[in-house]
Amino acid sequence: MDEAAPQGAKPAAFLDRDGTLMEDTGYIGTPERIRILDGVPEALRMLGEAGFERVVVTNQSGVARGLFGEPDVERVHRQLRERLARHGVTLEAFYYCTHLEDCDCRKPLPGMARRAARERGLDLRRSVVFGDRAGDIAFADALGVPGILVNEFGTYAGPEPLFRARTLLEGVRFFLERVHA
């Protein structure tokens, strides 16, 4: 684990994007394909009220594959932030990896979270990860924090998460009531 967090550092809720916050329809390079999942605004609101920074961490290998560019990823993130703002919620930061090969920033390696912690003064030891794939739970394991699986379809083969939720809202409720409390 990294050195101690700065005094007053906030914990983070590290959130996968596709399949956790919005519908996973494949490589999403245009804002028109954004479909925010049910309960996401309420879940994000609850995390914010509990004192967590809401930080998106997402692998975006569509850039390396030549399907779209980084400006497209930025447009999708801007639009996602704007749509959530209409519900009165905020995402504090977005971190993404555009690579195909293993690098320090590609999940399940912890580079994105460590960078966010340095840049935003976050306390990784009090943080949590929410995601829909094995790589997200392995990411949580690499950070030494709870990993909550958000998977409405029920099929999953990967590291055992702390909790299996059908939706982000269900996972956030579990975490705040049973772990963070």
The set of catalytic residues is: 16, 18
Full DSSP string of the chain: -PSPPPTTPBPEEEE-SBTTTB---SS--SGGG--BPTTHHHHHHHHHHTT-EEEEEEE-TTTTTTSS-HHHHHHHHHHHHHHHHTTT----EEEEE--SS--TTSTTSSHHHHHHHHHHTB-GGG-EEEESSHHHHHHHHHHTS-EEEE-TT----SSPPSEEESSHHHHHHHIIIII--
